[in-house]
């Protein structure tokens, strides 16, 4: 199974709401990622989990809170977002890179709209 | 600034023609990868070329890497309408690790 699944596909939330994005993979990958992508732009790395521990946080505002409950699951908790946070949120996974950087497998994304 | 700059930003060709897109990067790498993204969807890994390789083929894809010029090219031969997508290069840093740095992307449109 080479699939990364993400739920929900679409999410509309108000600035006072709390919501969560979910991501799952069953490829045995020990690195998992959250990216944010605006239209016609490349993905921007937000967080990297390595062996279920947060290894990279690209100075993301605290209104985004990642969580890795186990090696197959990755969540992104959202709270008090701003309209400019509207974007496509992509989850990805890969083998854990040491001396090399492995290819990443991406989910289909969650299209988030903040009203 | 972007680690990878791609050109052209947009490319429109007829079905059956070849499409070439270029990527330049700034720092030393352990490999360079190419991804495709259909509109509003996730990225799909196409091909990986290591820093000690100069050329790699996969089906209709040909990738070259010139580490002295810090540049790579992706050639898609005999393009099809289904190749219409955005294409991104991404570099892995020298020394490895999980962090990929994506280029700005090329939007390819293949017309019937």
Closest among A11, A1, A7 to A75, alpha carbons compared: A7
A41-61 pLDDT, tens digit each: 999 999 999 999 999 999 999
% of chain A surpassing 90 pLDDT: 95
Closest among A52, A3, A59, A53 to A27, alpha carbons compared: A3
Is a pLDDT exceeding 80 seen at residue B36? yes
With an 8 Å Cβ cutoff, are B44 and A104 in contact?
Answer: no
Q: Between A96, A104, A111, which is nearest B45 by CB? A: A104
Q: How confident is the model at residue B5 (pLDDT cuts 50, 70, 90)?
A: confident
C-alpha span between A34 and A44 (Å, rounded): 9
B39-85 pLDDT, tens digit each: 989 999 999 999 999 999 999 999 999 999 999 999 999 999 999 99
Residues in chain B whose Cβ is within 8 Å of chain A: 2, 30-31, 33, 35, 40-45, 48, 86, 88, 91-93, 95-100, 102-105, 107
Structural tokens at position B54: 């100069």
With an 8 Å Cβ cutoff, are B42 and A33 in contact?
Answer: no
Q: How far is A29 from chain B (nearest CA, A)?
A: 12
Closest among A87, A66, A83 to A23, alpha carbons compared: A66
Q: What is the DSSP string of A44-73?
A: EEEEEEETTEEEEE-S--TTEEEEEEETTE
Q: How confident is the model at residue A98 (pLDDT cuts 50, 70, 90)?
A: confident
B4-7/B19-25 β-pairing: antiparallel
pLDDT at B2: 41
Q: Which residue of A has its CA nearest to B34?
A: A103
């Amino acid at each position: 199974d080479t699939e990364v699944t993400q739920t929900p596909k679409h999410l509309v939330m108000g600035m006072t709401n709390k919501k969560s994005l979910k991501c799952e993979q069953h490829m045995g990958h020990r690195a998992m990622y959250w990216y944010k992508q605006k239209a016609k732009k490349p993905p921007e790395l937000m967080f990297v989990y390595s062996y279920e521990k947060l290894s990279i946080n690209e100075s993301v505002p605290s209104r985004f809170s990642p969580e890795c409950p186990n090696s197959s699951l990755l969540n992104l908790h959202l709270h008090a977002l701003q309209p400019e946070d509207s974007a496509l949120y992509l989850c990805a996974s890969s083998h854990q890179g040491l001396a090399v950087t492995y290819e990443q497998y991406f989910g289909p994304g969650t299209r988030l709209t903040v009203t | 600034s972007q680690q990878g700059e791609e050109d052209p930003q947009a490319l429109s060709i007829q079905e059956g023609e070849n499409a070439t897109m270029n990527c330049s990067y700034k720092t030393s790498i352990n490999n360079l990868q190419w991804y495709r993204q259909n509109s509003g969807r996730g990225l799909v890994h196409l091909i990986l070329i290591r820093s000690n390789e100069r050329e790699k083929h996969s089906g209709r894809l040909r990738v070259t890497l010139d580490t002295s010029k810090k540049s790579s090219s992706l050639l898609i031969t005999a393009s099809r309408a289904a190749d219409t997508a955005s294409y991104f290069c991404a570099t892995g840093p020298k020394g490895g690790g999980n962090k990929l740095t994506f280029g700005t992307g090329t939007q390819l449109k293949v017309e019937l």
